[in-house]
A and B are shown apart, each in its own frame.
Chain A
Amino acid sequence: MTQPLRSLASVSNEVETALYEVRKKIYPRAVHGRFAAARWALVWLTQLVFYGLPWLTWNGRQAVLFDLGARRFYIFGYVFWPQDFIFLTGLLVISALALFLFTAIAGRLWCGYACPQTVYTEIFMWIERVIEGDRMRRMRLDQAPLSASKVSLKAVKHALWIAAALWTGVTFVGYFTPIQVLTDEIATWTLGPWETFWIVFYGFATYGNAGWMREQVCKYMCPYARFQGVMFDRDTLVITYDAARGEPRGARSRSADYKAAGLGACVDCNICVQVCPTGIDIRTGLQYECIGCAACIDACDQVMDRMSYPRGLIRYATQNAMHEGDGPRWFLRRLLRSRIAVYGALLALVSVVLLAGLYLRVPLKVDVIRDRATLVRDTSEGLIENVYRLQIMNTDERIHRYVVRASGLEGLTVSVRQPVEVPGATTLAVAVAVQVDPAGIKPGSHPIVFHVEDAEDPHLRADEKSRFFVR
């Protein structure tokens, strides 16, 4: 490896260079239209949910709260325990399958409309536009020499960015520490060290990613941006420039008959490039940088309208449609292809299983721990006794009274003070002695089952297996 480099070093006109492309700052132009409106709708929706959810209360507590210290995860009426981890797994599987499905149908929908990177960049660009103006004014401001007005504009922008970012950090931490407590702590300046760290960390990440990094996150950091290419096929809707219609591009007057002049529909106004948040030219075809935000479609449609040309020079279209046919009909016909069917079926299956699991979930869990030192003992009545520790977890938020029974051997009796009362969202360890008359029972290990049942509601029960030893 070093050999060719050293030989290169002997050449006289060489220079030492850092071989990095310097990022060219992108000044996306404001864009209006159908898809921009859809994105803003999703910005509002996701952010109302994100910023609003921690402020809702339910049963006198925060409606959505992930209490890591106590390991209780409250989501409205549900209280999840670490033992319910499978539901989180299910949710992640559903998210992954939904991502596969939507990407196979219509490309990077997630990237273009719902990804936090896109959403926060949109918000931060809006703040930037309000303070510094649109594309041309921002470019001019950056090139202008340092002046009081430039410094004050920049200062106001960054102050607003930091405020938005910190509030995002506070909201994020508010999912783990009750947000009312958190805001009280902030007001009284008594925030704990970890809360402070996570607010600042998450705030800094928001500020850095949405304010400074922007498209670089999508281009260089995001793994999903790179691997979703494998979910595309020739029938996936992607943002496409209709080269057959557009080329050869060129400037012309609005009244000219461009076809007679040998031109395509593209007026080469470059607005599609100016609005692109990742700084690419969609007219060179599908590129990995394209996050599918459709800003170029909105921009081009406006130009086409102004020129009185039909819309859709840049549009959502599949590769096959470009070559073989076009229009929604073609797309719908190709929608029923095998990969969509497989993703869709899996998604439906896992969703049904998860919902059924949630519906059938019983807010009671029992662990049985056999006493290990004392396997068997005799009672003064001549019975054989085994001792167990029952770990009864009441995952409901109200108090429950449970009756404990055991079955599996003829004449098993359970000695524990019945009913066992367990307060809401609490685990109780109960020592339980189980007796049986040894007459007619083979010495050895026998399977038994503990039944823990709510005294009022027989549907609320948990069965747990254990062993009973007879000597």
Chain B
Amino acid sequence: MSDFTSDLWSLYIALITVASIIACAVLLKSLSTRRVAKGEPVGTTGHTWDEDLAEWNNPLPRWWIWLFYITIVFSLGYLVLYPGLGSFRGIFDWTSAGQYQQEQAAAAATYGPIYEKFAREDFDKVTGDPQARQIGQRLFLTYCAQCHGSDAGGSRGFPSLRDNDWLYGGTPEAIKTSIRDGRNGVMPPLSAAVGGEEGARDIAHYVLSLSGRTYDPVRAHRGRDKFATTCIACHGKDAKGNQALGAPNLTDGVWLHGGSERAIVETILKGRGMPAASGITVMPAHKGLLDENRIHLLAAYVYGLSREPRK
């Protein structure tokens, strides 16, 4: 055992443990009997309270003494069965890690079949199953709601999962990949490429024009050319984005990092998901937290959310 530099210490501690137990037994025995003269009372504790109140120096009640004896028997049994006597592991060979694994296995045996049943079912069927949706909601509230919100509506930097607008694709497989392996989107800082803030504003007005927002036509016209040289590599010629890269569609009026002119200019100049930029673009991988069957069920729940009619 690495905790001890030699076996001597284990033996030393075991001896102290056993000696203490024996000492307790001897003490108990000596306290429960007294040597007194025949016919004489045991005597008092020697203190007088309230003028005339004294206490007989009798031992503890017998049931109490016996409780102590029982604890001694218990401790001996415990030390044989469980670890406690130096480095002796006990005949049960119990460890806290082992017990944890046992409990995990027991939980898996209880809940595993439920997930397995849904994992074998068709994705669309799971999406519509009320029990699966209930379990999915619990999983969502545990693992997803911190960033995407309890209602999956997201917020700045965290995409909404119910608007049927997908950065990385909304097919069952794409959603599963997002959950399982995570996503890491990057918008590079383009300050130099677009010619500083003025150039960025031009592009911003062109982008605003794409989703039918109010914009400055002069700037938008200038920005159009800059967009064609700088942005189409990722966002595409028609600015509809690229789900393989996670480049967002710029024409649908859904803004991950804000849709005001100022926010768009900041995105262009500083980028997103870069060390110096604000905003988070990382979706962490969940494969260590959720097994494949749970991911299946959770993906079906998220898929179902995007299909719900909104008022």
Does A409 count as interface, using CB distance less than 8 angstroms? no
The minimal Cβ–Cβ distance linking B19 to chain A, given in whole angstroms, is 21
Across the interface, which residues of A come within 8 angstroms of B311, CB to CB? 415, 417
What separation, in Å, do the CA atoms of A389 and B149 have in the docked complex? Answer: 9
CA distance A377 to B138 in the complex (A): 23
Tally chain B residues at the interface, Cβ within 8 Å.
Answer: 33
Count of interface residues, chain A, beta-carbon cutoff 8 Å? 32
- Cα-based distance from A204 to B151 in the complex (angstroms): 54
- Taking CB atoms, residues of chain B closer than 8 Å to A431 are 145, 149-152
Which residues in B have their C-beta under 8 angstroms from that of A417? 311
Instruction: Tell me whether A19 and B58 are in contact in the complex, defined as CB-CB below 8 angstroms, given that A385-B153, A429-B137 are known contacts.
Output: yes
A429 lies within 8 A of B35 (CB)? no
Q: Mark B195-223, 1 if CB is under 8 A from A, else 0.
A: 00000000000000000000000000000
Within 8 Å CB of A373, what residues of B? 146-147, 149, 155, 158
Contact B149 A19 (CB under 8 A): no
B151-166 to A contact mask, C-beta < 8 Å, 1/0: 1111110100000000
Q: When the two chains form their complex, are residues A377 and B37 in contact, meaning their CB atoms are under 8 A apart?
A: no
Residues 230-259 (chain A) with a chain B CB within 8 angstroms: none
Closest-by-CB residue of B relative to A375 is B155
- State how many angstroms separate the Cβ of B254 from the closest Cβ of chain A: 8
Complex-state Cα separation, A20 to B33, whole angstroms:
9
Q: Which of A367-407 contact B (CB under 8 A)?
A: 369, 371-374, 376-377, 380, 385, 387-389
B59 in contact (CB, < 8 A):
yes
Determine if A387 and B43 form an interchain contact, defined as CB atoms under 8 angstroms apart: no
Min Cβ gap B31→A in Å is 10
Contact among A16, A432, A433 with B35 in the assembled complex (CB-CB below 8 Å): A16
Contacts of B34 in A (CB 8 A): 5, 16-17, 19
Within 8 A of B (CB), among A1-16: 4-5, 8-9, 11, 13-16
A360 within 8 A of B: no
What residues of chain B lie closer than 8 Å to A15, measured between beta carbons? 35-38
A416-455 residues with Cβ-Cβ distance < 8 A to B are: 417, 429, 431-433
Shortest distance from the beta carbon of B172 to any chain A beta carbon, whole Å: 23
| Alpha-carbon distance between A20 and B31 when the two chains are bound, in angstroms | 12
Verify if A151 is at the interface (C-beta below 8 Å from B): no
What residues on B are CB-neighbors of A8 within 8 Å?
Answer: 35-37, 43
> Cβ of A14 and Cβ of B35 under 8 Å apart?
yes
- B42 at interface, CB cutoff 8 A: yes
Q: How far is the CB of A26 from chain B (nearest CB, A)?
A: 18
Q: Most chain-B CB neighbours within 10 Å: which of A4, A19, A220, A377?
A: A19
Asked whether A148 is an interface residue with its Cβ less than 8 Å from the other chain, the reply is: no
Are B153 and A433 interface neighbours, CB within 8 A? yes
Q: Which 3 A-B pairs have the closest CB atoms?
A: A431-B151, A431-B150, A374-B155
**Taking beta carbons and an 8 Å cutoff, which residues of A are in contact with B?**
4-5, 8-9, 11, 13-20, 220, 369, 371-374, 376-377, 380, 385, 387-389, 415, 417, 429, 431-433
Contacts A376-B155, A432-B151 supplied; 16 other A-B pairs, CB < 8 Å: A4-B46, A14-B37, A18-B32, A19-B33, A220-B61, A371-B145, A374-B149, A374-B153, A377-B156, A380-B254, A387-B153, A389-B150, A417-B311, A429-B138, A431-B149, A431-B151
Q: List 8 A-B contacts (CB under 8 A).
A: A4-B46, A15-B35, A17-B33, A20-B59, A373-B155, A377-B155, A389-B141, A429-B138
